[in-house]
Structure 1
Amino acid sequence: MNRHFTDARYYFRRGFEHLYAGIDEETEPFRHQLMERLGREPEAEEEEVGPQTRRERVEYEARRAATRSREAAGKVRRRVGRTSP
C-alpha cells in the first residue's frame, strides 16, 4: 500500500513541475510586455553556478524541483481556500 502512495506523490510532484513550467512559459511574453510598460527592464536570466558532479547535479535538481512543487502547492492551497464556501 505504501508503494501506491509513494507513486502517487511522485506523479503529483511531476504534474506540478509540468504545470509550473507550462504556466511560466505561457506567461513569459505578458510579463515582458508588462515590465516594458512599467518602464522596468525584464529580469535577466541569471546563470546559476551549479554543481559539478552528476550526483551533485541530481541532488540540486531534486531540491529545486521540491521547492518549486511546494511553492505551487501552496499557491493552489491559497487559491482553494479563497474559493471555499
Structure 2
Amino acid sequence: MSKHFEDARYYLGRAADHAKEGVKEELEPVEERVRELVGREKEPEPSRLDRLEADLTELSRKAEGEAKEAVQQARERLDEYRSGRSSE
C-alpha cells in the first residue's frame, strides 16, 4: 500500500475518534436532562478495585472447581488401583 494511503487511513481514523468524542461531549448535557426527567441515574463505572475484586473472585471459583475436579480424578484412580489389586 502506498505511503499516502497509509497516512490517509491513519488521519481518517483520528478524525473519526475526534468526531466521536465531540458528539459525546455535545450530548452530555442532553443525556443528563433526560436522565433527570426519567429518574434514572447514570451507573458509575466499576473502579479498578472493584474490577480486581471481581477478577479475584472469578479466579477463586475457577481454582476451587479445578481442585474439586482433581480430587475427584485422584479418588477415581485410587479406586481403580485398589480394585485392580484386590482382584489379583
- Taking structure 2 as the reference length, the TM-score comes to 0.48
Partner of 1:6 in structure 2?
Answer: 6
Largest Rg, 1 or 2? 2
RMSD: 2.0
CA distance in 2, matches of 1:14, 1:41: 31
Partner of 1:56 in structure 2?
Answer: none
Q: CA 1:44–1:9 in 2, change beyond 3 Å: closer, same or farther? A: same
The amino acid that maps onto 1:2 is: S
Partner of 1:18 in structure 2?
Answer: 18
Larger RCO (CA within 8 A; separation ≥ 6): 1
Aligned length: 49
Deviates more, 1:38-47 or 1:17-26: 38-47
Which deviations, in whole Å up to 9, do the C-alpha atoms of 1:6-61 show, x marking residues without a partner?
00000000000100001101110110110111110123244468xxxxxxxxxxxx
Give the alignment of 1:6-85 within 5 angstroms: 6-47=6-47
Shift of 1:5: 0.7
- Taking structure 1 as the reference length, the TM-score comes to 0.50
Q: What runs of 5+ residues in structure 2 fail to find an aligned partner?
A: 50-88
